[in-house]
Chain A
Amino acid sequence: MAYSEKVIDHYENPRNVGSFDKGDDSVGTGMVGAPACGDVMKLQIKVGKDGIIEDARFKTYGCGSAIASSSLVTEWVKGKKLDEAASIRNTQIAAELSLPPVKIHCSILAEDAIKAAVEDYKKKHGKDQAAKEKAA
């Protein structure tokens, strides 16, 4: 399979590889996919007090396109508000990386990973909110 230059660049020099502490309040973690399907993505966002995503990390088990898709979105989400990040569409990812049709699922997975990370962060803080309200 011929990969686009951008896929190869992200694959060979993946951006923002690593992990944040899952337990950290400012971190939202999204884990999507399944080993049975051949790809698993873990995307983490670190959110500032102003609700802006300050930093992101990923780890991906999957083909080159899956690795490139997740590497790309860690760059894209930085500096975005949560809702802005969650509105990134897989078609934008696929277009940026020139993914062939058989690899579109990699971009869908990356979109899902952002949504799951944002969701996780919101859940953590929704709970905090609820706890605070109870205490009050």
Chain B
Amino acid sequence: MKPSLKFPIYLDYSATTPVDPRVAQKMIPYLTEHYGNPASRSHVFGWKAEEAVEEAREHVAALVRCDAKDLVWTSGATESINLALKGAAEFYKTKGKHLVTVRTEHKATLDTMRELERRGFEVSYLEVGADGLLDLNQLEASLRKDTILVSVMFVNNEIGVIQDIPAIGELCRSKGILFHVDAAQATGKCDVDLQALKVDLMSLTAHKTYGPKGIGALYVRRKPRVRLETQMHGGGHERGFRSGTLASHQIIGMGEAYRLAKLEMAAERERVRALRDQLLAGLNQMEEVFVNGDLERRVPHNLNLSFNFVEGESLIMAVKDIAVSSGSACTSASLEPSYVLRALGRSDELAHSSIRFTLGRFTTQEEVDYTVDHLRTKVAKLRDLSPLWEMHKEGIDLSTVQWAAH
């Protein structure tokens, strides 16, 4: 164990990232000195706060290449998604009642869609291929005369695959259908160009891009104009889209985080890709290790692997020197394996055996080396304990076994 390593090693950057110390420094004065309400027009405290909020808006807009006026501050991606989907569905409900999304979306989208179904909308949940990607022909076939909105995430949170947002945008625009993109996992990892993309609504968050939790934004296109039914009523902040006093220190944090992301993204991506490749090469030396989701059309920060014949929760318990998450949701009291991996058509064993490693700005080569050794030891130990591994080694095809249900 190298003395330079600090344990546990954090490899869960897709759950949340640490706030970059430069971001934290920038935020602090807006808590203690420049604490004015950005909506106060009558004194310098308010002016100062408003100026900083608008500067932050420019930084966010610059990263995703949109007009700063198209951004609405929210509390994070979940709120942005709720505002986009409910707001658009309710506003355009006289035009149609059909919405389209994908089975592998984040719960923030899926659960909002369920709520809209309860309100009388019809939702199509599209399948993905074994690579995790949406087939455009299938999407086109799902569109109806009364389809008002399509919602697809940019980068999947569990497997990191990048959907073909440019092509989906072209298709939706040609049919006059609104297109919402959940970009929570995309900012700072892949290029997002709202000038080129035919995207009408985009949900953003700060805390996956080295900013603070509790702040996000919704991009609402003005040309051509997208209308939304307001979900949060009050003082009419943010052009009436979202009332509530602006959390100026959070906003300044998001702005600084996005400013740094724009500056450092290209170099960071290549550095992380090298680390990810090193991690994969090391773990691939074991037998029966599978990558979940396409490896090419994927952000380099994500590596989701199934260690066949080892159950995910016990593996996470074993690898206590590293902080990762299990694709299987056993730990959250549901005994179902990951619905994302199920949607890829992964067998139950493989879906129950997955680990998501997500790397980021502060991941080092030493940490990756340690992780490889640690995983190899623990997987070997658990396989010695596994009756499935024993059967596999005896040449038994597990898919032919009749299991007693319980």
The chain A residues found within 8 Å of chain B, CB to CB, are 1, 3, 11, 14, 17, 19, 31-42, 59-64, 66-67, 102, 105, 108-109, 112
B contact residues, total (Cβ < 8 Å): 28
List of B residues within 8 angstroms of A36 by Cβ = 348, 403
Given A63-B317, A63-B330; A34-B384 close (CB under 8 Å): no
How many A-B pairs fall under 8 Å by CB? 82
Given A61-B309, A62-B314; A14-B385 close (CB under 8 Å): yes
CB distance from B314 to the nearest CB of A (A): 5
A17:B387 contact, CB within 8 angstroms: no
Question: Which of these, B314, B387, B388, contacts A63 with CB under 8 Å?
Answer: B314
- Cβ of B406 within 8 Å of any chain A Cβ, yes or no, is yes
CB distance from B388 to the nearest CB of A (A): 5
- Cβ of B301 within 8 Å of any chain A Cβ, yes or no, is no
Given A3-B317, A41-B387; A34-B311 close (CB under 8 Å): no
B328:A37 contact, CB within 8 angstroms: no
A64:B317 contact, CB within 8 angstroms: yes
A59:B311 contact, CB within 8 angstroms: no
B335:A38 contact, CB within 8 angstroms: yes
The chain B residues found within 8 Å of chain A, CB to CB, are 309-311, 313-314, 317, 328, 330-331, 333, 335, 337, 347-349, 352, 384-390, 398, 403-406
Question: Which of these, A40, A67, A102, contacts B314 with CB under 8 Å?
Answer: A67
A59:B390 contact, CB within 8 angstroms: yes
The majority secondary structure among interface residues of chain A is: mixed
List of B residues within 8 angstroms of A1 by Cβ = 331
List of A residues within 8 angstroms of B385 by Cβ = 14, 17, 59-61, 67
List of A residues within 8 angstroms of B386 by Cβ = 59-61
List of A residues within 8 angstroms of B337 by Cβ = 38
| 15 residue pairs from A and B, CB less than 8 Å apart | A1-B331, A3-B317, A33-B406, A34-B405, A35-B398, A38-B335, A59-B385, A61-B388, A63-B317, A63-B330, A64-B313, A64-B317, A105-B406, A109-B406, A112-B406
List of B residues within 8 angstroms of A31 by Cβ = 387, 404
User: Nearest CB to that of B326 among chain A residues?
Assistant: A63
User: Nearest CB to that of B404 among chain A residues?
Assistant: A32
List of B residues within 8 angstroms of A40 by Cβ = 387-388, 403
Question: Which of these, B349, B387, B398, B403, contacts A59 with CB under 8 Å?
Answer: B387
Q: How far apart sit A109 and B387, CA to CA, in the bound complex (Å)?
A: 14
B349:A35 contact, CB within 8 angstroms: yes
Q: How far apart sit A65 and B211, CA to CA, in the bound complex (Å)?
A: 37
